[in-house]
Amino acid sequence: MNWESDTEKRIWMCKRRGDESDGIEWFKMRKLEEEEMTKKSLCLCFESDTKYRWYNLDFDNGYSLLSEFNIGDLPGFHSTVLYDSKLYFIGGLNRVGNRVFASPEAFFINLSNAPNKISLQEAPLMIAGKFSPVVAAIDSKIYVLGTSACMTDITIDTSYIKPWAEVFDIVSNTWSDLPFPSEKAIEQSKYKASYVYHEKTKRIITSYPDSNYSGDLWYFDITTCSWGFIPQMHNLLSALKYVHGRPVIVDDDLYIIYRHKLCVASVVKPGDLIPVHGLKKAIKSLETKFDDDDISSFLSHLGNGLLCLVWCVHKRRKIADVHCLKFRVNKIPSYFNAVIESDDSFIFDGVDYLRDCLPFVMHNTTAPAVDPVSRCQITSRRRHSSRQSTRHARRVLVDGLPPKTDTHTIATFFADNIVLEPGHNDTGPVVLDVYINKERNFAIVELSSEEQANSAMVLSNPRLNGVPLTICRPADYKQPQLKKEGTKYAAKSASLPV
């Protein structure tokens, strides 16, 4: 829909009126003024059975489905960030046999293609894997800060991975490493981080509170490309440990949902958390169900001091009631009062857990064009190579590497030992990408086709510098059955000279 030309557009919305017993009312709502439209919609992610479903929630038009794809298409415990119309999925956990290690993978979907088909596409691999990293999209760059966080029920390879932090340039499509923080920050990062971006100072503030809710506040300054420490902010640190959903900063005030209430704290000087008044009735359903597993909340800054609180309540299975509360906060000394601008409710059918909520912030592009009437059902699949092979089908695990093996040596090994059958026209590179875990002496190698991957796994007596190798499909991916007549590639004895 072209808002610039559709100046007289009116839409119908469903608005909650008082308690549930009061029912609902339908009303006409005016179009937002141009200066109010910087962030006029949200991007919501629901989990539904085995799918991720991404929706565009337009404050005026309602919602529409943008994309859906299998949960298994992405590493578990990845982080998500939205910049312009591109939604990025970064890092996570990969499992290879009994090993669990931080994933270097990155993917994205281009929401500006809606309502046409939206595909999950591969971005360049990070320099090093990251598990549940801190991610922030700022000025055409995505900053990714590491974490050593681990889960109690599985063993994760938490050996030092360098670089611990890196940045992705969206324009050049490349990764670069960032400085290491202090050893103390890395040690504390074994507990999952809370984080928030302070636009005024250009700092990404992170907290790594330990099991006793102590710890420290750290920041990464994107202007000076350096790390810093924030002392004597114990109240803020404790609040971030208990934060429910994503916090936001407006000027120098941090707003968070803390123990089922909206609270505010200064990020520039020590002080207590101050409750924000005026929302008690509006967030009644959030308060009464705060400790339930089926509720989640997200706080966003829509610009010009306008805040938006989104939370989801499941009254019945597969039926989600998403509340969208927009308000401003008036501040007088030691007292904060919220003034509600709108309180809307949207019913989503066929969804489970609300996983994420991100505001659309358009810089150089336009918001995704979606059709809320047709509710486009867009099924997204992974981007295929020219031979329609998925990335996982083209990857092999190479175990038992000699020390100090580099990516060039591995690429040369496969290029020399996987030979095309006569008449095959493929003249491209055999190896597209290599990820090496030097601490555990194994590598994940992405070949240019599934046939090459199959051929690599049947190499006879593979050796690198005299050291025997094990080449197989990573255990969490189903190995395709080789045809009885063999693959399209002839595998010769694979042994590099010592």
- Longest alpha-carbon distance in the chain: 81
Comparing 21-35, 204-218, 230-244, 408-422, which segment has the lowest mean pLDDT?
A: 21-35
Q: What is the mean pLDDT of residues 78-107?
A: 86
Residue 327, pLDDT > 90, answer: yes
The rounded distance, in Å, linking the Cα atoms of 436 and 405 is 9
Tell me the chain's radius of gyration from C-alpha atoms. Answer: 25
At 72, list the tokens: 């298994």
Q: What is the pLDDT of residues 55-74, one digit of tens each?
A: 988 877 788 888 888 888 89
Residue 189, pLDDT > 70, answer: no
Q: What is the mean pLDDT of residues 258-281?
A: 81
- The conformational region for residue 297 under phi > 0 = left, psi -120 to 50 = alpha, else beta, is beta
Q: Which residue has the higher pLDDT, 231 or 294?
A: 231
Residue 3, pLDDT > 90, answer: no
pLDDT value for 295: 60
- Average pLDDT of every residue of the chain: 73
The rounded distance, in Å, linking the Cα atoms of 406 and 413 is 11
The rounded distance, in Å, linking the Cα atoms of 139 and 290 is 35
Could you give the C-alpha distances from 260 to 158, 165, 273, 381, 470, in angstroms and in order?
34, 33, 13, 38, 53
Q: Which residue has the higher pLDDT, 314 or 355?
A: 355
Q: What is the mean pLDDT of residues 145-151?
A: 64
Three-class HEC string of 191-256: CCCEEEEECCCCEEEEECCCCCCCCCEEEEECCCCEEEEECCCHHHHHHHHHECCCCEEECCEEEE
Q: Which residues in the chain are classed under CATH 2.120.10.80?
A: 12-359
Contact 75, 84 (CB under 8 A): no
Q: What is the pLDDT of residues 436-462, one digit of tens each?
A: 888 888 888 888 888 888 888 888 889
Residue 221, pLDDT > 50, answer: yes
Please report which confidence band the pLDDT of residue 326 belongs to, taking 50, 70 and 90 as the band edges: very high
Share of the chain above pLDDT 90, in %: 15
pLDDT value for 118: 79
Q: What is the pLDDT of residues 387-438, one digit of tens each?
A: 334 677 788 889 999 988 988 889 889 888 886 555 555 556 788 888 888 8
Could you give the C-alpha distances from 453 to 391, 469, 473, in angstroms and in order?
11, 15, 8
pLDDT value for 386: 33
Q: What is the mean pLDDT of residues 285-299?
A: 62
The rounded distance, in Å, linking the Cα atoms of 15 and 356 is 23
* Architecture of the domain made up of 12-359: 6 Propeller (2.120)
Residue whose C-alpha is closest to residue 110's, from 89, 140, 136, 139: 89
Tokens 């420490």 sit at which residue?
229
Tokens 């992705």 sit at which residue?
168
At 353, list the tokens: 């857990």
Burial label for 331, CB within 10 Å (0-12, 13-18, 19+), is middle
Is the pTM here over 0.85, yes or no? no
Report cis status (omega within 30 of 0) of the bond before 115: yes
Please report which confidence band the pLDDT of residue 141 belongs to, taking 50, 70 and 90 as the band edges: very high
In single-letter form, the type of residue at position 95 comes to R
Q: For the residues of 111-160, what is the DSSP string, one character each?
A: GGGTTS---BEEEPPPSS--SS-EEEEETTEEEEE------SSS-EE-S-
The rounded distance, in Å, linking the Cα atoms of 94 and 437 is 12
Question: Is the CA virtual torsion 442, 448, 452, 453 positive or negative?
Answer: positive
Q: What is the pLDDT of residues 469-494, one digit of tens each?
A: 999 887 544 433 333 334 444 444 44
Residue whose C-alpha is closest to residue 142's, from 166, 112, 177, 178: 166
Angle at which helices 450-457 and 407-417 cross, to 10°: 90
At 85, list the tokens: 């119309």
Which residues are CB-contacts of 282 (< 8 A; sequence separation ≥ 6)?
Answer: 325, 340, 343
Q: What CATH number should be reported for the domain whose range is 392-491?
A: 3.30.70.330
Question: Is the CA virtual torsion 345, 347, 353, 358 positive or negative?
Answer: negative
Q: What are 309's strand-pairing partners? A: 299, 325
Q: Which residue has the higher pLDDT, 399 or 32?
A: 399
Which residues are CB-contacts of 75 (< 8 A; sequence separation ≥ 6)?
Answer: 91, 92, 93, 94, 103, 105
Q: What is the mean pLDDT of residues 156-179?
A: 81
The rounded distance, in Å, linking the Cα atoms of 267 and 422 is 67
Q: Which helix (H) or strand (E) holds 415?
A: helix 407-417
Contact 284, 308 (CB under 8 A): no
